[in-house]
Every structure is written in structure tokens, then in C-alpha cells.
Amino acid sequence: MSKSYGAENIQVLEGLEAVRKRPAMYIGSTDTNGLHHLVYEIVDNSIDEALAGYCNNVKVIINADNSIEVTDNGRGIPCEPHPTHKISTLEVVLTKLHAGGKFDNDSYKVSGGLHGVGVSVVNALSKEMKVEVHRDGKIFVQEYKRGRPASAVKNTGKSSKTGTIVKFLPDDEIFEEVEYNFDVLSKRLRELAFLNAGVTITLLDKRGAKKADKYRESTFHFKGGIVSFVEFINENKTTITKKPIYFSIAKDNMEVELAMQYIDSYAENVFTYANNINTKEGGTHLIGFKSALTRVINDALKKGKFDKNIQQLSGDDVREGLVAIISVKLTNPQFEGQTKMKLGNSEVKGIVESVTNENLGFYFEENPQEAKKIIEKCLQSARARIAAKKAKDLTRRKNALENNALPGKLADCTESDPSKCELFIVEGDSAGGSAKQGRDRNFQAILPLKGKILNVEKARLDKMLSNEEIKTMITAFGAGIGLGEFDIGKARYNKIIIMTDADVDGSHIRTLLLTFFFRYMKEFIDNGYLYIAQPPLYNIKIGKESFYVYNDEEKDRLLKKNEDKNVVIQRYKGLGEMNPDQLWETTMDPSKRTMLRVRVDDDVEAENVFSVLMGDVVEPRRKFIEENAHNVQNLDL
């Protein structure tokens, strides 16, 4: 018998109830990403005050209990009675969705955030929140619990300054875990400081340390704005031109800022922003820039005396080795999708394109020597592209990339659904033998590699494609390689697991593989396909019992609990030292194993680390080792 369905079944979620009922609709998720998003929403309000010209100082504090405190010296949230709601405007802003100054173009010409839902959403998803406003010579305070006012707005004293202090504790009923990551917050705050020249942003972590002078702290302030951003990215790289190219133009109620510089490298790093929001999937501003860049450089190529064998440069040619920041600020941004990863305003393409055409063209005319260096760099890219195409064509003829022939060393699985398949990359035949015998051949494939693969940080695609081990991996993965050809939808495995030995060589091989994935198959990382296996470090026998131990801390705890010297400790230096059943039980069995998912929280910092550790320039690497040597815990000599 069907249940009745009538008017009484229709629920109306008032105020912030909807946010607590469906938090992911407002902040994307309730995992660590959503948790950190709360901080960004509050900071974005402070930055909007900076964009309006009223704020130049923002401080973010992570307290010992993982509550967050954000202080700015902006105008302060209005606290007088609201003309419509007849209560303090502060309470309206904190408890009503879509209440804010972002809809009034006179108050904020440009803003980021969630279009007026930001601070109220954070309030709804916080166990408790306290807001203190310094405005009109007074201090106003109100406290909230899970989005509801716990007290009326109070005038608590006089103040000679202006600004807002927001303190909130995320609700542990909503979030999977309330634990903030300093580095994740640091990345976003550093980014905001670059994008808003002259604003000082401080991040202070009060967790762990007992004394204030031991607190972890970072302060970001960049007079050069996005020029400083490009210089920061290129700090440890060899640049083609001495200084970044920069221009900033206001046109049709929009501000376009661009900074760019070429480096002696093969990667393309173009970061785009709209109203301070990182549009990771690009959009109309990126399309306009790419189109203009290709046109300007090809025009200069035709006018100059260069390699006559190459009459036309492709978009890929002119962007190889390019580091660029494109920042647009506009009144009514339109973002595609809830997470705002892509800018959709159609008018932006034409404006960015014309601005880039005009200003970059003028730069080339005024700086002929710099322009010549850039064009020569692009010609090198074109020559390498042509050579890579020849290498690919040759490889195809040998049935290594596109045909159905799989590499002979691959022990494939019987399952054909990629979502159920996993591939273990192991080093050498010994480990490969144990893994092949220990695996579940229904869904687990094994690919042994011989020796260390090529360091792709120092090699172009054409050289990389001549390396047998890399060709073997590309063939096994099935997704292709290179711009325009890599297709993650064709991947044969949705889990690729790096399983190397726990020694120096194993660590080096793992690092070389991570460099390869980061540079040429980053989509595997971004989509959560790449993992690192965690084999045990020790097998400890105490009497008749045997224990697998995965780190030194665990070993020490075990030995302390069992002080019998009838103890035998075996340190595994190679996976080949383990029997197939031991390898399955400890490292490969999905019901028991522990794996690390590879993720990139800070693209810019990751770019810097790979360049320093794997690139050609020695001095930054020496400096990195000297500064971080004291952090080494397990030195395998």
C-alpha cells in the first residue's frame, strides 16, 4: 500500500536550516576541502574590503582547538538597525542567506566569495561563532551557536579603529574531521597577497607550541603583486628574459592584469584568476590570452629573420616554458559549476584578447632583443615537437603506443572494467616475481621496471619517448601521452600504485616516477588514481608471535611493551625479501593494506620542489638539502 503524499509532506527549510541539511551544496563538501573553504569565505570578505580600498591588513589565527580567528582593518560590518528586518544589520548578515553588500554595486564594485552567502554559511556550519565589529567609534559583539544568535548585538565599549574580528569553531556534527592544515591555508593566503598588491596577510598557528615565540607563522606582503608571483614561481629556474612582462589595463568596467616570463624548461604553467578566485579549469580569460599570445608571436616570427623551415608556431610551441598569471576583476562574474573552477563571461574573451594583442605586441616592438629570445625559445619547442611526432610515429609502427599489443613484462589482470582494476609498479624482477605470485590476478596487474627511469625534469618529450621503461608504462596505462593526445578516459586502471623498496634506491625510483606523473600525467593525480604502497619496514618475532611493523615509532612501542630479549627483528630492505603470501597480507590485500593517495594541495609549491630537487640548477638543491637536513629521520647509508 502506497504512503499518502500531500501538502503536509512538503518541507520548507527556513534560514540557515537548508545549509545544515545540505552543506555540500554551499561549500562543496564536508571533508577537509569544505573545512578549509570556511576560512576562505571569511578571508574573502576581508579581501573584498581591500578591493574596495578600505583594508590593507588581514590576520588569520588557528587556535589550539582548531577554531579560526580572522581579523581585518576594513570598515566593519554595519550594525545599525536594518530598514527592512528591524534588527541589527550585523545579525541580518550573519543569519540570513544572500544578505550582504555584494549586490549593491556602489558598496563593492568587485567581490569574490559565494555572492552574499559566505559568512552566514560559515555561521550555520559552526558549533559556535563570535563576531566583534569596530565601527562608528564603538565595539559591537554578538555570539552564535550553530547559526542561531546566542545573544543580542551588544555595544561593549569605545574604539578608535575600524574592522571586523570573526572567530568560529567548525561543527564536528557536520565535518568529518576538524583539523586545519597550515600549508593548505598558507597556499591560499599567499596567493591572495600576490593577487592584491600591498595587502599584508598573516597566518599564525597556536597549536602544539606552548610559547608564543614557538608558534608557526607566515606573513605575506608583495608590493609587486602578480609580478612578484611570477618571480616567486621562477625563483630557482633559469629565465629566458631578465624581468617578467607585465601590464594592467582597465577596460569596460573590467581590470585585466597579466604577468608572464619564459623559463628554460618544457612545462607550461599558466594560472588564471577571476576576482581572486583560482579558475583552475580556465575559461574565457584563458581562451582570449592563448589566442592573442599565439597571434602576436607568429606575427613577430614572420617579420624577423628566423628559421625559414618553420613558418608557423602552434599554441603548444608558444606556451612551452611559459609561466603566466592572468587576473581579471569584473563586476558580475559568471562561474560555471558550483565550485567556480571556470569563468564563463563571454565578453571577457574579447577584452583579454585585445588587451594582450595590443600590449604584448607593443612590448615586442619596444624590446626586440627580449622578443628574439622568446621566439628562439618557441622555435626550439617547435623543433622538439616535430622530433617527438616522428618518435611517436616510429613507436606506433612498432606497436608500442596505440595497438593492442601490451608490453611482455606486464602481468595483466582478467578484469576489463578500469574502475575495478589496479596496477602495481614495482622495481626489478625479484619484487615483480613476489608481487605476481602474491596478487589477486582477477583485478591486480603487475608491471616490473628495470632500473631507474629517465629524470623527465631534464628531458623533452622526444627524448622521453626513446626511454624503454617510460614507453612500457605509457603502453600499459593506455591513456596516451602529450598535449592533445592524453585521454584519462582511456586509462586501463583507475588505481596505479607505486610499490618500491624501503631503501635509498627505492625512494629515488619513487621520486622519478612522481616527477613523471606530475609533469606528463597530472590528471592521474588530480583524479585520485595514483597511490604509494606502504609495505612493512620490519618483521618482529617475539617468542612464537610475529608482528609486521610499518615505522620506527610502532617498532619502539612494540618493543617497550614486550621487554623480553627473545626478540628477532628483520628489517625489510627489498620487497623481494618477502614471500608472496607476506606481500599480499601486508601490502596488497585491499581489506588490510594501507596506501597513501598522492595529491597536490599547492601546485605552485609542488612546481618549485620538483624544479629544485630534479632540475639542472645545483645551487638551489644544495640550499634545500642544507635547510632540511635536520628533518631527516631515517637515513639509509
Residue 418, Cα to own-chain centre: how many angstroms? Answer: 25
Active-site annotation holder among 171, 422, 427, 603: 427
Find all residues with CB under 8 Å of 365, minimum gap 6, and list them: none
Other CB atoms within 10 Å distance of the CB of residue 345: 18
Q: Max CA-CA distance within the chain?
A: 84
Inter-residue contact 192 to 201 (CB < 8 Å): yes
Tell me the C-alpha distance between 611 and 602, whole Å: 14
Find all residues with CB under 8 Å of 361, minimum gap 6, and list them: 296, 299
| 44 belongs to the catalytic site | no
For residues 416-434, one letter each, b for 16 or more C-beta atoms within 10 angstroms of the residue's C-beta and e for the rest, the string is eebeebbbbbbbbeebbbb
Inter-residue contact 551 to 558 (CB < 8 Å): no
For residues 257-283, one letter each, b for 16 or more C-beta atoms within 10 angstroms of the residue's C-beta and e for the rest, the string is bbbbbbbebbbbbbbbbbbbbbbeebb
DSSP 384-447: HHHHHHHHHHHHHHTTSSSSSPPPTT-B--S---GGG-EEEEEEHHHHHHHHHHHS-TTTEEEE
Among 372, 274, 280, residue whose Cα is nearest residue 332: 274
DSSP 312-334: ---HHHHHTTEEEEEEEEESS--
DSSP assignment letter at 3? P
Cell match 642544507: residue? Answer: 626
Tell me the C-alpha distance between 208 and 439, whole Å: 42
| 505 belongs to the catalytic site | yes
Residue 528, Cα to own-chain centre: how many angstroms? Answer: 13
Tell me the C-alpha distance between 341 and 359, whole Å: 27
Active-site annotation holder among 462, 505, 526, 554: 505
Inter-residue contact 330 to 345 (CB < 8 Å): yes
Set of cell numbers at residue 360: 604584448
- DSSP, collapsed to helix, strand or coil, labels residue 594 as coil
Task: Let me know if 172 is exposed, middle or buried by CB neighbors in 10 A (0-12, 13-18, 19+).
Answer: exposed
Phi and psi angles of residue 187, each rounded to the nearest 5 degrees, phi first: -60, -45
Tell me the C-alpha distance between 188 and 179, whole Å: 17
| 501 belongs to the catalytic site | yes
Amino acid letter, residue 518: F
Active-site annotation holder among 143, 255, 336, 503: 503
Residue 34, Cα to own-chain centre: how many angstroms? Answer: 14
Cell match 574565457: residue? Answer: 284
Active-site annotation holder among 132, 501, 603, 607: 501
Indicate the angle between helix axes 226-233 and 603-614, nearest 10 degrees: 40
| 427 belongs to the catalytic site | yes
Catalytic residue IDs: 427, 501, 503, 505
